[in-house]
A and B are shown apart, each in its own frame.
Chain A
């Protein structure tokens, strides 16, 4: 199956700091998705990207679809305690979806 690697694996930051994380793939994707998952819950879609080079924002979140179509980036500005969770990238190949390994974010008040 597809390999989606996310980095960093975990982050501990102070409230108010900006956060950057990325996702790389072993092959090309035509769509990139970013999800957030909180403990005991299912993932929630944050941002969807459909075109190489696309930059999309959702509030304090900004995601970019890499030009090579093998990577994507997620930035969170001015982090707040409720940003805590695990962030997953995902991409479809045919009708199957592949998820990354996740980046765990801890925000220290």
Chain B
């Protein structure tokens, strides 16, 4: 396993269209996170999964955003009716969580979304 992978790496879409991104985490990792990063800023937490359960969502995650992790492996992030303000880098990270320990996150290369 070579790390977290994300597809596509770049996506250009017109305002109002729906887009879907995919993240494949490191295979033994049970936690998966989605972040959004705009130019000149650090990543901002969107949501995370423990196996297939979505356990936490940021208030940044509007109702146009939905994330799934159907079998506890890969995850998808869908944005409906895209707006220009959705233009950003969308980062996925994964970690292995165990009781009493801290889970270090490993990031994928990101999907850069441009909404025209």
Number of A-B contacts (CB under 8 A): 53
Interface residues, chain B, with chain A CB atoms under 8 Å away: 4, 33, 35, 40-45, 48, 55-56, 58, 91, 93, 102, 104-110, 112
Whether B109 pairs with A48 at a CB distance below 8 angstroms is no
Inter-subunit contact B33/A97 (CB<8 Å): yes
**Looking at the complex, which one of B35, B58, B102, B107 makes contact with A48 (CB distance below 8 Å)?**
B102
Asked whether any CB of chain B lies closer than 8 Å to the CB of A43, the reply is yes
Q: Determine whether A44 belongs to the interface, using a CB cutoff of 8 Å to chain B.
A: yes
Q: Which residues of B contact A45 (CB under 8 A)?
A: 104-106
Contact of B58 among A31, A88, A96, A102 (CB under 8 A): A96
- Summarize A's interface: helix, strand, loop or mixed: strand
Chain A minimum-CB-distance residue to B102: A31
What are 19 A-B contacts with C-beta separation under 8 Å? Answer: A4-B42, A40-B109, A41-B109, A42-B4, A42-B91, A44-B107, A45-B106, A48-B102, A48-B104, A88-B42, A95-B48, A95-B55, A95-B56, A96-B48, A97-B45, A98-B45, A100-B42, A101-B42, A102-B40
- Closest partner residue, chain B, to A98 (CB atom): B45
